């Protein structure tokens, strides 16, 4: 499992509160995001895969899934975050385009987005502009990327 600790200008690096002994305790308020390993790296174009993991202290930040193809980022989907179970998930389907010859690889990037970045991504999605040459300010990728091989329709 890959763990990512994100610190941005919108997230506090830490906070102090008093404990019963009256000495301050540092509380880490930075988002912590984990990415679970994929159950399979061989997938179909139609079914794709679901990226998922655990998250803590996300605050106003969001998680997004992108395809990274030919040095461009393609916005796939904003992840669904369940605050009760501290989990997130983002389906990536369908994969590629009908003109892509099988088999082919797809590399997906998981991104933690600040509110500024989220606003930019939402604007791009609503205007139909899912292709970006670079990630907007406030978008930070979780390494390593997820790579799958698409072997069937």
Classify strands 87-92 and 49-56 as parallel, antiparallel or unpaired.
antiparallel
* pLDDT value, residue 26: 47
* pLDDT value, residue 55: 93
User: Mean pLDDT of residues grouped by 10 in the chain (153 residues)?
Assistant: 40 29 47 80 93 92 94 96 94 91 94 96 96 95 90 92
* pLDDT value, residue 19: 33
Mark residue 59 as left, alpha or beta (left: phi above 0; alpha: psi -120 to 50; beta: remaining).
left
Q: Which residues contact 1 (CB under 8 A, 6 or more apart)?
A: 34, 35, 36, 37, 53, 54
Contact of 25 with 45, CB cutoff 8 Å: no
Burial class from Cβ neighbours inside 10 Å (0-12, 13-18, 19+) for residue 56 reads middle
> With helix as H, strand as E and coil as C, how does the chain read?
CEEEECCCCCCCCCEEEECCCCCEEEECCCCEEEECCCCCCEEECCCCEEEEEEEECCCCCEEEEEEEECCEEEEEEECEEECCCCEEEEEECCCCCCCCCCCEEEEEEEEEECHHHHHHHHHHHHCCCCEECCCCCCEEEEEEEEEEEEEEC
């Amino acid at each position: 499992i890959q763990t990512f600790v994100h610190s941005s200008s919108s997230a506090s690096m830490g906070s102090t509160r008093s404990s019963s002994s009256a000495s301050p305790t540092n509380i880490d308020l930075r988002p912590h995001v984990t990415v679970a390993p994929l159950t399979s790296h061989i997938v179909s174009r139609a079914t794709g895969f679901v990226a998922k993991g655990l998250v803590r202290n996300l605050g106003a930040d969001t998680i997004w899934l992108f395809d990274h193809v030919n040095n461009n980022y393609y916005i796939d989907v904003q992840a669904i975050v369940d605050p009760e179970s501290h989990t997130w998930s983002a389906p990536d389907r369908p994969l590629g385009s009908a003109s892509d010859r099988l088999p082919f690889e797809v590399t997906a990037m998981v991104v933690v987005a600040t509110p500024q970045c989220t606003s930019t991504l939402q604007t791009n999605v609503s205007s139909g502009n899912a292709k970006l040459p670079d990630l907007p300010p406030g978008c930070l990728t979780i390494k390593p990327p997820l790579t799958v091989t698409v072997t069937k329709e």
